[in-house]
Amino acid sequence: MTHTFAALGEFGDAINFIFSSRENQRGAPVGGSHNLPLIWEHLKLCAVAMAAALVVALPLGLVLGHTGKGSFLAISTSNVGRAVPSVALIALFIAFLPGSPEFLNVTLALALLAIPPILTNTYVGVQQTDRDAVDAARGMGLSGYQIIRSIELPLALPLIFGGIKTSTVNVIATATIAPLVGVVTLGDPLVAFSVYGREGQIGASIIVAALAIAAEVGLSAVQNAVTPTGIKLERGAEGRARARFGLTKRRIQTAP
């Protein structure tokens, strides 16, 4: 029983750390508003990495899915990508590009991490669009680009967003180990125990978890906003829950 109270006490200290700043021994003010630069750096890193990944993976996935070519590439990147440890990716860039700035190295590693889920999900989403709809559109004289834009993309949105959500959460998670190589994100309290203390470690973890959940919820809201009403109406409550986490039936397996 005392162990549980001790644990609750530690969580209490952690919440305190998030909201009030304090002087940790000599110098080094931490906690409270001093968490903001950490949060900012974390978000900056994730935003740049995700932007880079989207710019590469979305168009590629759309084109490959539309033409049906490159299915091996699109599917295998996900399988291999899932297995590559994030630490190894970051380590690879540090080891092979020691002279380049840390921020660039980590951004590249994170972008590489983020590409596979987006690429595979976009490809599969477009690939599995109802062929009748596409044929009808072609019969109506729509060009390839128009078909992608007005038919395949809207219908593939749940899957595409599923991929974007997975990538975003992965990137937020991996950005926590960036401080080991010099990019001071929210992971700093996790690795520098002596500067932030136990309450700092737990406090930062809470913020990271909250960030990930906020990103997930935020992206779901965006998905809801951009999905055409007609497609949304098809589903009920159960369908919406399933769509959010990808429990719809698909022939090809993708990550949630």
Contact status, residue 21 vs residue 30, Cβ threshold 8 Å: yes
At position 73, the amino acid (one-letter code) is L
When binding is defined by CB under 8 A, the residue of 82, 146, 149, 150 that contacts other proteins is 82
Residue 98 φ then ψ, to 5°: -65, -25
44-52, 83-91, 139-147, 152-160 -> range binding other proteins (CB under 8 A): 83-91
Count of residues engaged in binding other proteins, rule: CB under 8 A: 73
Pick the stretch among 33-41, 43-51, 58-66, 80-88 that binds other proteins (CB under 8 A). 80-88
CA distances from 42 to 17, 50, 117, 123, 184 (A): 18, 12, 21, 29, 8
Give the footprint of other proteins on residues 3-62 (CB under 8 A).
Answer: 6-7, 10-11, 24-28
Pick between residue 26 and residue 141 the one whose CB is nearest to other proteins: 26
CA angle (96, 98, 101) in 5-degree steps? 120
Regarding 176 and contact with other proteins (CB under 8 A), the answer is yes
Nearer to other proteins (CB atom), residue 129 or residue 185:
185
Residues contacting residue 31 through CB under 8 Å, at least 6 positions apart: 16, 17, 18, 19, 20, 21, 22, 24, 196, 199, 200, 203
* CA–CA dist 54, 52 (Å, integer): 6
Among 37, 68, 144, 256, binds other proteins (CB under 8 A): 256
CA dihedral 128, 133, 134, 138 (to 10 degrees): 180
CB of 112 to other proteins, least distance (A): 13
CB of 166 to other proteins, least distance (A): 9
Nearer to other proteins, 64 or 172 (CB): 172
Q: CB burial class (10 A; 0-12, 13-18, 19+) of residue 212?
A: middle
Q: Which of 173, 145, 147 is nearest to 50 (CA)?
A: 173
Among 248, 228, 67, which Cα is nearest to 151's? 228
In the set 131, 139, 140, 194, which binds other proteins (CB under 8 A)? 194
Residues 88-107 that bind other proteins (CB under 8 A): 88-89, 91-92, 94-96, 98-99, 101-102
Tell me whether residue 134 or residue 196 sits nearer to other proteins (CB atom). Answer: 196
Per-residue x/- track, 128-167, other proteins (CB under 8 A): ----------------------------------------
* Positions 215 through 244 that interact with other proteins (CB under 8 A): 216, 237-238, 241-242, 244
Q: Which is nearer to other proteins, 210 or 231 (CB)?
A: 210
